Structure 1
Amino acid sequence: MSTGATRPTVGAVVLTMNDRPEEFPRALSSLLAQEGVDLDVVVVGNGCPPKLVPPGVRAVDLAENVGIPEGRNVGAANVEGDYLFFFDNDAHLPTADVLSCLAAELERDLGLAYAQPRICDPDTRVTLRRWVPRLRANPARPGIVTVMAEGVVMVRRSAFDAAGGWPGHFFLFHEGIDLAWRLWDHGSTGRYLPEIIVHHPATDPARHARFYRLNARNRVWLARRNLPLLLVPLNLATWVLLTLWRFRDRAALRASLDGFREGLRGGQGERSPMSWGTVARLTFAGRPPIL
C-alpha cells in the first residue's frame, strides 16, 4: 500500500463460489497489479470458504449463497476506500491503469456516482448488447448513462451508502438498474467510458437455471420499488409486450410469466419511488423509466 496522500482509495469486492479455478486467480492478479491507487481487496465466498485467495487479500466466508447483490453488500462493508469497485471473478483488467482512470473520472466530476468501463470479450473483442448501459447500443460512444453493467463498475462510496447499496433480496438480475435509479434519485449521474477496457468472456445469462423466472420477478420488483405509481403499470405493460414479442421458446415464456406473477405477489421490499424530477432527468438522458 502506498502512503501517497493524493492517491485515490479504492475498495474492491470480488465474489467467488470456488467454481472458476483458472479465471479467478487471473482476475485477482490483474486487480492487484493496478497502479496509481491505494487498493483494499476483499473476496466474499458466497456459500463457501474462498480458495486461491492470495496473501494480503481478506476473505469473508458466508455460510450460504446469499446471491450476488447481497454478497457485494457484504464485501462493501468489509473494505475501505472513497470508491468501490465491483469486479466479476471471471473478468480481467488488461492494463494496470484501469482503476486509476475510473477514479480520475469520478474525482474530476463530483456529480458522478458511478463510472462504467467498456466490457469486451478478450477473444472476439465483442461488446455484448447487455454490457452497454443505454438503449442505443453503440459500444464506442461515451457519455452519461442511466443504468449500469453491475459486474464491472466503480461507484462513489458516499453515493453508494446514501442510496442504500445493492438490493440484496434480488439475488440475481436487475440489481444494477435498481442501484442506478436510486443514485440518480439522489441527484447523481453515471458515465460510460468506452476508452477504458475490461475483458470479460461473452457468457449467456440464460445459462442460469433460474434466469427467466428471476429476470421477470425482479423486473416487477424494480418497478414497484422505484417508480411513481402512475408509471408502474406502464413499465410492466411495456415489459410484457416486449417479452411476448421476443420469446418463441414456450418453456422460457412460461418461466418468465411465472416470475412475473411471483413479482406481483409482493416481496419487492420497501417502496421508495423516485421523484418526478428524476423521471424527467432520466428521460432527458435518453432512457425514460418505462423501458
Structure 2
Amino acid sequence: MSLPRIGVVIVTMGTRPRELDALLASVEKQDVPAARVMLVGNSTPLADVDVAENVTKVPLEDNLGCPGGRNVALEMLRDSGEVDVVVELDDDGLLIDAGVFRRTQELFASDPRLGIVGFRVADEHGHTERRWVPRLRADDPMRGGPVTAFLGGGHALSMPMLRETGLWAGEFFFGHEESDLAWRALDAGWRILYEPEIVLQHPATSPARHAVYYRFTARNRVWLARRRLPWPLVPVYLGVWILLTMARIRSVGGLKAWWGGFVEGVRTPCPPRKAMRWRTVWRMTRLGRPPIL
C-alpha cells in the first residue's frame, strides 16, 4: 500500500508571530516529513519569519481572506503534482503529537474515496468545546466516524477530491466556506471523516472576536443556501437559522450587523449555483445532519 504524499498550507496575517513559530516547529517535528509546506502571508511580506528549507513563503499584497489565501497555495501544490493530501492549519494552532501526518497518510491510503479528515480541536487543557465537534450530538468529542462537516482550523483534504470539486469559495472571505466545500464533496460522492485521535491544539477564542463575524456569517449563510441547496430547502434552511440567530445574539449591534449581512446575501450575486442532489440530502440526513441545520 503506497502512502500519500503530504503537503501543508498555513495562512497568516503576521499578527501571531510566536504562535506561528511554534506551529512551524511542530510541523518540522512530525515523524513523517511533509513533501511541501506553503506559508501564505495575507497582506504581509513574511520577511521576519524564519522557515525550514522545505517551506515556501507566499507573500500576498492583498488580504484574500483565509479561503482565498489557501487557494493560492492549493493551486501551486495542485499544479506541482508533488502532494496527494493537503493538511491545512490555523496559524495559532499547534500539533502536539508527532504522528499527525503518519496517521493522516494511513487514513487516506485505506480509503480511496475519503475526501476530508477533520481533526479534533482542543484547547491547552485538552478540552474540546461543543461547537468544535462537527455533529449535532456533540456531547462526546471522542466519538469519531463519518460526518457532514469539518472544522477549518485543522483538517486534511484529498488532492484528487479538490481536482473534482474545485477549491475553496474564496468570495466567502470568512465564514461557512467549510460547509460549501463539504457539501460539494458529499454531493460528488466523497466521504468526510471526523478523527478525534488527531488533535490540533487551539486557544478557545470566540469567532465573534472578528469585527466582520456577524455580517459575513449571515451573508455567507444566504450565499451557501442559494448556491448549494435545492430551491424548496432554501427558505427552510434560512428560516431555521433566523430563529436560532434571534435566540442567540444578545447585542443590538450584533443583530444589526447580522441582518445587514443577510440582506447583502439576498441582494448580491453568489455564482455559481450547483445545488446538491436530493440523494445527497438524504445521505446527509442518514449521517445525522440534514442540510437545514
TM-score normalised by length of structure 1: 0.95
Q: Distance in 2 between matches of 1:177 and 1:186?
A: 14
Q: Distance in 1 between matches of 2:226 and 2:50?
A: 39
Shift of 1:267: 2.8
Residue in structure 2 matching 1:55, options 52, 69, 90: 52
Q: Distance in 2 between matches of 1:10 and 1:73?
A: 17
Instruction: Name the stretch that deviates more: 168-177 or 108-117.
Output: 108-117
Shift of 1:32: 1.6
Aligned residue for 2:134? Answer: 133
Q: Distance in 2 between matches of 1:244 and 1:148?
A: 25
Shift of 1:111: 2.1
Moved over 3 A (4+): none
Shift of 1:78: 2.1
**How many residues are treated as equivalent by the alignment?**
286
Aligned residue for 1:46? Answer: 42
Aligned residue for 1:11? Answer: 7
Residue in structure 2 matching 1:156, options 136, 158, 167: 158
Shift of 1:36: 2.6
Shift of 1:18: 1.1
Shift of 1:38: 4.2
Aligned residue for 1:142? Answer: 144
Aligned residues of 1:130 and 1:149 also touching (Cα < 8 A): no
Aligned residue for 2:120? Answer: 118
Gaps of 5+ in 1: none
Aligned residue for 2:206? Answer: 204
Shift of 1:7: 4.2
Matched AA of 2:32:
G
Matched AA of 1:68:
C
Gaps of 5+ in 2: none
TM-score normalised by length of structure 2: 0.94
Partner of 1:288, secondary structure, is coil
Cα displacement string for residues 60-113 of structure 1 (whole angstroms, at most 9, x for unaligned residues): 111100111010111112233100111111111111111110221111122211
Q: How is 1:76-95 mapped onto 2 (pairs within 5 angstroms)?
A: 76-79=74-77, 80-95=82-97
Q: Distance in 1 between matches of 2:65 and 2:119?
A: 24
Aligned residues of 1:212 and 1:255 also touching (Cα < 8 A): yes
Residue in structure 2 matching 1:31, options 19, 27, 38: 27
Partner of 2:76, secondary structure, is coil
Aligned residue for 2:168? Answer: 166
Q: Distance in 1 between matches of 2:224 and 2:200?
A: 27
Aligned residues of 1:13 and 1:86 also touching (Cα < 8 A): yes
Q: CA RMSD in A?
A: 1.3
